[in-house]
Structure 1
Amino acid sequence: MSLSLMADPFVREHDPALIARKNRANAINGSTAFGLLVARIGGCRVSKGPRGMWLADGYRFGFPDAGAFTVGSVAITKHQWPDILAQREWLFRHEEWHSFQYQRLGGLPFIPAYLLACAWSKVLTGDVWSRNVFERGAGLAIGGYTEHAMRLPFRALAAGGRFARRPEGGR
């Protein structure tokens, strides 16, 4: 992993009290319970992970199409968390940031908000992550994503609606 990626502010350590408040809030708002249910339905093996997160591995379904995803304070993957933590610990940090997003949105309202952000990104860029406010907030690079540019018509709108104009008198 490059030094610049490790210097990413999303990889920094958090105050243990902040982490505990986030995990407690996600337990109270029901999102962690729902995450544990998703893990159970998905056939996962669940264990307690670092920083109060639950780690669920061996997820058997193809949706969502991601290396890992988070519901409440439960990080779920089809792979094995011990391997991920040993080789790509930064992916865990990305998923942990999603658990903070669940807390900030009051739990399960995160899911429709996230799906809406996926649709918005798909329209703008052709992928579900490049302009997804939640993926950007959790750190695209540490989530393993490559940012794509906005599609041409949207680039012009983002630049203030200035389309290329012909010079005065030009045809």
Structure 2
Amino acid sequence: MLTDGFVLGAASGGFTVLDSLYQLLAFLVLMWLLKKFAWAPLMKVMKDREEHIASEINQAEDAKKEAKELLQQQQEMLKNARQESHTFIENAKKQAEVQKEEIIRAAREEAERHKEAARLEIQQEKENAVAALKEQVASLSVLIASKVIEKELSEKDHAELIQESIKKAGEE
């Protein structure tokens, strides 16, 4: 009967306890071999891969931080450049306004000088004309006096003499 217990289902196909023990032993030996020769290197590869991925993630985070910092620096530089250009434009406008006022002031002064020079020239010409007129009147007076002395004039002759003298003065 004991042999009957070891042979379970021998009649049905041959599955025995010994087969089970053999399979269990083979499984354990296989597990031990896998652990010793395959599991350790596999775990080492997995650990290296995990470290590599962690390193890549850290590098990516560092690069992202650096890119953010660079972006902030660039934005700050752009802001400063805009401010400087705005200040430069405002200064240029102020300087242009000052130059415009200076040019207008200089033009007004020049116009006043020309106006004063023209006024002085007109005054001088007027004085010259008055002096010339005085000379002509004096010479006409002398001429009239000499003619009066030469002859005694009637009122009619006197008026004609005056008209004639005025005509001569106008022609000269």
Scaled by the length of structure 1, what TM-score is found? Answer: 0.17
> Which of the pair is proportionally richer in strand?
1
Larger-Rg structure: 2
Greater relative contact order structure (CA < 8 Å, 6+ sep): 1
Scaled by the length of structure 2, what TM-score is found? Answer: 0.17
